[in-house]
Structure 1
Amino acid sequence: MLVQQILANKRISTIWSVSPDTTVYEALELMAEKNIGAVLVLENEQLAGIFSERDYARKGVLKGRASRDTLIKDVMTSQVITVETEQKIEECMQIMSDRHIRHLPVNYKGELVGIISINDIVSAIIREQMQHIQSLESYISGSPY
């Protein structure tokens, strides 16, 4: 399965983003409202970073920074790892595991087209496994696929 298939199956294809000058509090409000664990940070429509709940906890709360006074650019992860739509989800899972991250922005021919989470990948793998199981059960029982 490829990343593009995950993006196609996502119910929400909107890329939620903030600017580097957004306050952490405003970003957290957006994340809570949209029930997401990370937002992309865009500057002049280019990916400048990613801000996640983990960034907030480690670079905000633990450093004693007030969310209403702290700007995203001061706590975001600026070295963003991205993937391409044609990459296999197994590769993405390996990247996430190796780098200890939960979100991957997705590019298509150099253009940002979405974001996938570890939950998206796990759900896709579970769906794929269920389809394999059903096919095998049909084969064993002698009924057509």
Structure 2
Amino acid sequence: MVTVRDLLRNKGGDVWSVSPETTMIDTLHLLAKKDVGALMVTKEGKIVGVVSERDFVRSIAQTGQCLLYSTVERYMTTEISTVTPDQSIEQCMQLMTDRHIRHLPVLENEKLIGVISIGDVVRELISNKQLTINQLEDYIQGRTYPA
């Protein structure tokens, strides 16, 4: 069973964040610079929300307004699902599917240690499935036995 800790070990634990008072234009610049789809919104070291490209685009679609100099607080999602390093990636996939979310903050002892995306989870699941397929092929073809 692959855990979130395993995934973070391979991916790295970089976490990019903004404050609720950050403007959306600055947030969009950071998203582009770091090549990520979402940022954690923190205040005094605690997560208070998540803001994604998707949140911003959906707001524009609903209101017909593109308010680049408004603050992140206006767009961020405040109902945050989190995971721990010891949870399996299968549990993460289920949570993401059930709640229709694409990013999960990883907390250990209430401290933010990483963020995983749906892409991270899918890549890891596919990699593990391919490894299993390769091992089964080797077994079937007798390549795992010494001659």
> Would you say 1:38 and 2:38 are equivalent positions?
yes
Q: Which residue of the partner structure matches residue 85 of structure 2?
A: 85
TM-score if structure 1 supplies the norm length? 0.93
Q: Distance in 2 between matches of 1:67 and 1:29?
A: 14
The aligned residue for residue 6 of structure 1 is 7
TM-score for the superposition, normalised by structure 2 = 0.92
Give the distance between the partners of 1:34 and 1:62, measured in 2 at CA: 27
The Cα shift of 1:17 comes to 0.6
Mapped to 2, the partners of 1:70 and 1:129 lie a distance apart of 44
Displacement after TM superposition at 1:85 (Å) = 0.6
Instruction: Decide whether the 8 Å contact of 1:60 with 1:75 is kept in 2.
Output: no
Q: List, as ranges, runs of 4+ consecutive aligned residues in structure 1 with deviation greater than 6 Å.
A: none
1:1-145 correspondence to structure 2 within 5 Å = 1-10=2-11, 12-144=12-144
Aligned residue pairs: how many? 144
Instruction: Give a deviation string over 1:9-28, Cα, whole Å, max 9, x none.
Output: 10x43101101100011111
**Structure 1 unaligned blocks of 5 or more:** none
How many angstroms does 1:61 deviate by?
Answer: 4.9
Supply the distance in 1 between the matched residues of 2:133 and 2:34 (Cα, whole angstroms): 34
1:5 maps to a residue whose letter is: D
RMSD over aligned Cα atoms: 1.4
Q: Please say if residues 23 and 67 of structure 1, whose CA atoms lie closer than 8 Å, have aligned partners that are also in contact.
A: no
User: What amino acid is aligned across from residue 91 of structure 2 in structure 1?
Assistant: E
CA shift, 1:65, in A, is: 3.9
